[in-house]
Amino acid sequence: MALKLKSQRTQPSVQSRPFKAILLYSVMSDWTQDDTLLSEECITRMKRGLSVVGLESTHVAIRKDVAGPLRGFDPREYVIFNWAEGLDGAPNAYDAVPPVLEEMGFAYTGADAWTLAASLDKAYTKKILLENKIPTPVSKVYDRAVLNGWRRYPALVKPATEHCSFGITREAVVDNPQQLKDRIQYVIDTWKCPALVEDFIDGTEFNVSVWGNGDEAQVLPISAMDYSAFADYHDRLCTFDAKWNPESEAYRLTAVQCPADLDKTLKRRIERVALATYRALKLRDYGRVDMRVRNGVPYVLDVNANPDITMEGGFARSARAAGYDYGQMTAHILTLAARRMPNGTKA
């Protein structure tokens, strides 16, 4: 009997074969003890949540070898929750994991290799958005600190191939050509990648979580990140500290409202742009689109394939607002992936 989930709201129509879950996650040799403990706690929470809704799960850690630890598991019985964040020594190699899973015949949650690579490359993401007529701030990529006529200030400078707000601090918002040149050089020297410069849009930031596939993709309740506690616009952005450091002022003073208080017209616009982005980047099962609004137009800032799925993360917050507890949310994502399980039967 396929897993059935309960919700306080209308349940998306999802059918799948019976399955068990593998929680696949990365372990890095440069982790601190705190990093290891946090990873283990996240896995424990997810397994506990799945157990509550009646779904059997096991966890598998990978370092550099993806296939080895998965041998012995039958793809006709298991769906993989792909929580891998790269490989040991290559932490951004998200796209290296799905091809191995596909070669072994496993259905797995979330994006495939193309989408993971495309969404990590912010310049390529911009290209896809523009090709699909999806609003996104004016931007330019620099591999050296020669401005070539950039005249939009304030501007935001970020590493073009990083994620999780790495490189995003108040100094990333620049006001003049000299600051811009200095920040571009900083990004190139520090993060060893080109710098993406874009028109900075001040104001509330909207985190728009989407799940489902094809015509069944749905927008979950929208989160609004309110930066009004910060008098200086250089501080009104989602920095690394604002995301990950509970002891920081940025974390403490950034208010989050979910569901966001939006008028119907703007809410519909944001939802339409989120769904168009989700489909343009070929996200699968679940994802998040970050936006800001100027003159009533939602502009896409970032696209998050396989976004943070921890209990404290934005996606889980939106799922809770829709009536899903942590176990129900995780199980629903797995059930979406289970539709792609191989059809063969055991010999």
Instruction: Report the pLDDT value the prediction gives residue 16, as an integer from 0 to 100.
Output: 64
**344 has pLDDT over 80:** no
In a domain, 318, yes or no: no
At 24, which helix (H) or strand (E)? Answer: strand 20-26
**5 has pLDDT over 50:** no
| Helix residue ranges, H only, 96-225 | 97-104, 113-120, 122-131, 177-191
In a domain, 160, yes or no: no
In a domain, 208, yes or no: no
Q: Give residue-wise pLDDT tens across range 109-143.
A: 999 999 999 999 999 999 999 999 999 999 999 99
| Bridge partners (DSSP) listed for residue 294 | 297
Q: Which residues contact 35 (CB under 8 A, 6 or more apart)?
A: 28
| Residue-range definition of the domain harbouring residue 53 | 20-109+325-338
pTM for this entry: 0.91
d(CA 314, CA 322): 13
Confidence of residue 162 (pLDDT cuts 50, 70, 90): confident
Query: Of 173 and 249, which is predicted with more confidence?
Result: 173
Q: Give residue-wise pLDDT tens across range 36-68.
A: 998 999 999 999 999 999 999 999 999 999 999
In a domain, 232, yes or no: no
Instruction: Report the pLDDT value the prediction gives residue 103, as an integer from 0 to 100.
Output: 97
For the segment 234-253, the average pLDDT, to the nearest whole number, is 78
In a domain, 28, yes or no: yes
In a domain, 33, yes or no: yes
**1 has pLDDT over 50:** no
Instruction: Report the pLDDT value the prediction gives residue 241, as an integer from 0 to 100.
Output: 74
Instruction: Report the pLDDT value the prediction gives residue 163, as an integer from 0 to 100.
Output: 75
In a domain, 310, yes or no: no
Tally of domains in the chain: 1
d(CA 292, CA 154): 15
Q: Give residue-wise pLDDT tens across range 185-220.
A: 999 999 999 999 999 999 999 999 999 999 999 999
Instruction: Report the pLDDT value the prediction gives residue 345, as an integer from 0 to 100.
Output: 47
d(CA 88, CA 184): 28
**245 has pLDDT over 90:** no
Q: Give residue-wise pLDDT tens across range 72-94.
A: 999 999 999 999 988 999 888 99
Question: What mean pLDDT, rounded, does the chain reach?
Answer: 91
Q: Which residues contact 306 (CB under 8 A, 6 or more apart)?
A: 82, 94, 109, 110, 111, 116, 286, 287
Instruction: Report the pLDDT value the prediction gives residue 3, as an integer from 0 to 100.
Output: 40
**165 has pLDDT over 80:** no
Q: Give me the CATH number covering residue 60.
A: 3.40.50
In a domain, 193, yes or no: no
Instruction: Tell me the one-letter amino acid at 98.
Output: P
